[in-house]
Chain A
Amino acid sequence: MAGYRELLAQLREQIGEVDPVALRAEAGPDGPVLVDVRMQSEWDEGHLPGALNIGRDYLESRIDQRVPDRDTPVVLYCESGSRSLLAAKTLLELGYTNVRNLAGGYTEWKRSGFEIVFPRSLTPGQRSRYARHLLIPEVGEEGQLKLLDSKVLMIGAGGLGSPASLYLAAAGVGTLGIVDGDIVDESNLQRQIVHSTERLGQPKVQSAKETIEALNPDVKVVPYEERISSENIERILADGWDVILDGTDNFPTRYLLNDASVWHDIPVVHGSIYRFEGQVTVFKPGAGPCYRCLFPEPPPPEMAPSCAEGGVLGVLPGIVGSLQANEVIKLLLGIGEPLVGRLLTFDALYTEFNELKLKRSESCPVCGDHPTITEYIDYVQFCQAPTAKATH
């Protein structure tokens, strides 16, 4: 029976090896998939650029998710090239057809003076906090670090902003900007679950900040205790945001936000609610329509009562705001199919979802082929003006 050394020698003959110089020449976006089969602690000390880390203990169970196509060229490596040789044998047994081993492993690569990268990694506390995310291949450690680096601007800490901010904070979105000039009122508490009875009378941004920081100390809350307007929006956007979550309660703000997001190329996750019905969509500049493509003009005020006038079922913003948070996370991670060019409507009374198709309008005054609105307008006046002037 062969000993360890004999086994490795046999495998070296059976499995092709590639040396660091040859691998470096092949590496890149079109090159082979590099799989680092070492332990997490070794990976954390430095690894090859672009490599995946699948510890040898998990190789059989996880390779499928990371490298689904068994004909993909794969190069495995470990510290010295021995463990990865055994791992390569496993991949061949699993049906992978193009598997090679990096001769001399990470040590030889490093000795050749080639580039290595040191991963930022989660702390043990974060690993435990985000354990359920780390198990999902679409998120994983890389995705979680991306969330922690992300900055989301929330317009409104009310019905939609409450659940959205809680879920984004729990998910570890690193920076949450919250813009709201209101104070917590008793009539808010039927649905605005980021606030509480003991915070009545406090500014909503402060109340939300306290709740969020108690939920997850990883999250930095940037409070803007003001109502967003043409005067302050540039200052707020200058702080740099990856995604905007629109949870506002009025048309002037929605149009203002739309125009700013098109000009600054920031996606807006839109949500709106009334009584039992909600609408959710994603306005991503360049990839789909904007709010003005959908609604060139606001309705006359008597036709669009607000929740303050018409009421809203308390749980409805919980559902719609959570859908918005889901879209934000997908956009931040670049996974799945966001609601770009699709508008989801939800009827809480009948528990019914509907999806409508939206397209960018070539004649849109802001994102169309020949924009006519290129700077901030008087949004309050725009939303009060009689609509009879419009498109005939």
Chain B
Amino acid sequence: MSIVRIPPPLRPSVNGERQVEASGATVREVLDNLTSRFPALRQQVFEGDDIAPFINVFVESEDVRTLDGLDTSVADGNTVMLLPAMAGGSA
């Protein structure tokens, strides 16, 4: 099991949880496992079969785009973090 950290804009899709456990040995398996349980999350994380260009996925603080993308391996107890772009600042 890995721990997936859910950023605030995506929390409504996971019943408001801040982090959820998910199983899988790769990023793809972990995200598949997660989005099968929380279908609303799917379109916020995936675009087609790929990670959406407006979100970043980190395994143990490393951007999976700089590793093996969806095939990046996830070890038991690893933290997977989802990072969406946030616009807020001024108004």
Measured between beta carbons, the chain A residues less than 8 angstroms from B63 are: 356-359
Q: Is A180 part of the contact surface with B, judged by Cβ < 8 Å? A: yes
**Chain B 27-55, CB within 8 Å of chain A: the 1/0 string?**
00000000000000000100111101111
| CA of A20 to CA of B54, assembled, Å | 63
Known contacts A304-B9, A355-B61: A249-B86 contact under CB 8 Å:
no
Q: Is A105 part of the contact surface with B, judged by Cβ < 8 Å? A: no
Q: Is B8 part of the contact surface with A, judged by Cβ < 8 Å? A: yes
CB pair A160–B61 under 8 Å, yes or no, is no
| CA of A273 to CA of B88, assembled, Å | 5
Q: Is A141 part of the contact surface with B, judged by Cβ < 8 Å? A: no
Q: A256 → chain B, closest Cβ, in Å?
A: 13
**Chain A 299-311, CB within 8 Å of chain B: the 1/0 string?**
1100111111010
Kindly identify which residue among B50, B54, B55 contacts A392, using a CB–CB cutoff of 8 Å: B50
CB pair B89–A277 under 8 Å, yes or no, is no
Known contacts A297-B53, A299-B84: A357-B62 contact under CB 8 Å:
yes
**Chain A 135-158, CB within 8 Å of chain B: the 1/0 string?**
000000000000000000001111
Known contacts A299-B84, A310-B9, A359-B66: A156-B89 contact under CB 8 Å:
yes
Q: B46 → chain A, closest Cβ, in Å?
A: 11
Q: B18 → chain A, closest Cβ, in Å?
A: 8
| Chain B residues engaging chain A, CB cutoff 8 angstroms | 5, 7-9, 18, 44, 47-50, 52-56, 58, 61-63, 65-66, 81, 83-91
CB pair A387–B47 under 8 Å, yes or no, is yes
Known contacts A295-B56, A354-B81: A158-B89 contact under CB 8 Å:
yes
Within 8 A of B (CB), among A261-301: 271-277, 279, 294-300
Q: A356 → chain B, closest Cβ, in Å?
A: 5
Known contacts A295-B54, A356-B58, A391-B50: A251-B85 contact under CB 8 Å:
yes
Q: How many of chain A's residues have a CB under 8 angstroms from any CB in B?
A: 55
**Chain A 345-384, CB within 8 Å of chain B: the 1/0 string?**
1000010001111110100000000000000000000000
Extra inter-chain contacts (10) besides given A279-B86, A299-B52, A299-B85, CB under 8 Å: A155-B90, A157-B90, A247-B89, A249-B91, A272-B89, A303-B9, A303-B44, A306-B91, A345-B83, A392-B47
CB pair B81–A356 under 8 Å, yes or no, is yes
| CA of A287 to CA of B74, assembled, Å | 29
Q: B48 → chain A, closest Cβ, in Å?
A: 5
12 CB contacts below 8 A, A to B, read A155-B90, A158-B90, A182-B90, A249-B89, A251-B85, A251-B87, A272-B88, A277-B86, A296-B54, A298-B54, A356-B81, A387-B54
CB pair B7–A277 under 8 Å, yes or no, is yes
Known contacts A357-B62, A387-B53, A388-B47: A158-B91 contact under CB 8 Å:
yes
